[in-house]
Structure 1
Amino acid sequence: MEEQVDILDDNGKPTGKSCLKSEAHQKGLLHPTVHVWCYTQTGKVLIQQRGRKKMAYPLLWDVSVAGHISAGENIETAALREVEEEIGLQIKKSDLESIGTFRETHKHAEDFIDAELHHLFLVKLKVPFSALVKQENEVEALDLIPLFRFAEETWGLGRTEKYVPHGPSYYKKIVTEIKKRT
């Protein structure tokens, strides 16, 4: 069953309306998501290769965990749910560290426009990489890479075409925030 999402106004505030996720994408309606970036104390970042059947950016590398916030769902609850679904990790609200929001719009086709307000979180990984279990239908692969390499590849001179095009300001924010903590 397809989930309902809340619709936001231009300022990112709830309008009191909701619709199916597919309708929000078809009409380009702004709606909330969560992006959870997992990192290690030794300065590595967990990245996820999107599933090959994803409509947007199949097989590109992206945020550790991401997903839509269901209509009426608490932001942190959505983050906890997505972390468990996508990488098989049970965490607590106290493990989530909010680092703000980021608004972005990607027009994939006339009838497929991602207009999303990402709620950004960091989570320090307290388990070995081998303990993570990827969600088969959503995630192609997981990788744990050095933060310096991630920075080079996402907004440096590296391989930006390998990643979902969130843009340099998004990736710089993530790298800066993780670097402060390692």
Structure 2
Amino acid sequence: MLSLSSKNWLNHSLGVILSLGILSVATATLAQSTTNTEPLEENTVTPVNQTESLLSLQGGEKLMKEAEVAINAGNYDLAATKLQQARRIFNQLSNFYLQLGESFSGIDNRLAEGQRAGALKTATLRDESTYQLALVHRAQNKPELAVPLLIQIIRSQNPTSELGRKSYQQLYEIGFVETPFQTSNN
């Protein structure tokens, strides 16, 4: 059995050994990271690569293209997944652009308007991906999933817009509404 002073010595020794081990690992990691990278300039700013990020216009459009390929192959489950992802991305982007636009309102109207334009563009893409998703649900014989999506589009786009009219027509074909919608353009 170890005496109290032996236990203290053992605990102290183990602590020193652990500290030395951690210090040597940290030193090796630091040495490796400084030898493998170029010196960093403090004021260097690198933009986010928008083409590789899913949270981007290009990322959402890529998902929509993948969904189109899946639809053409008859893989509606994969298409629905891709369209839901695209819809989520476009919705987030639209909200982010709106928030940025509101932040710059009254400070820099040029920036505020640019962000609002980004919000409108991504909201339109969100609604287009939502419409495609509703059509996929119809093809899967799941009209109960298509109805709320079509109503969201009409509320977002306006019933008289092209996408709004097409969405209402889908509701009519499903049998959710009984009265056809006629505009002065028809």
TM-score category (smaller protein): under 0.3
Q: Which has the higher contact order (CA 8 A, sep 6+)?
A: 1
Structure ID, larger Rg: 2
So what's the TM-score if we normalise by structure 2? 0.25
Q: Write 1 or 2 for the structure with the bigger share of strand.
A: 1
TM-score (structure 1 length as normaliser): 0.26
Name the one with the larger helix percent: 2
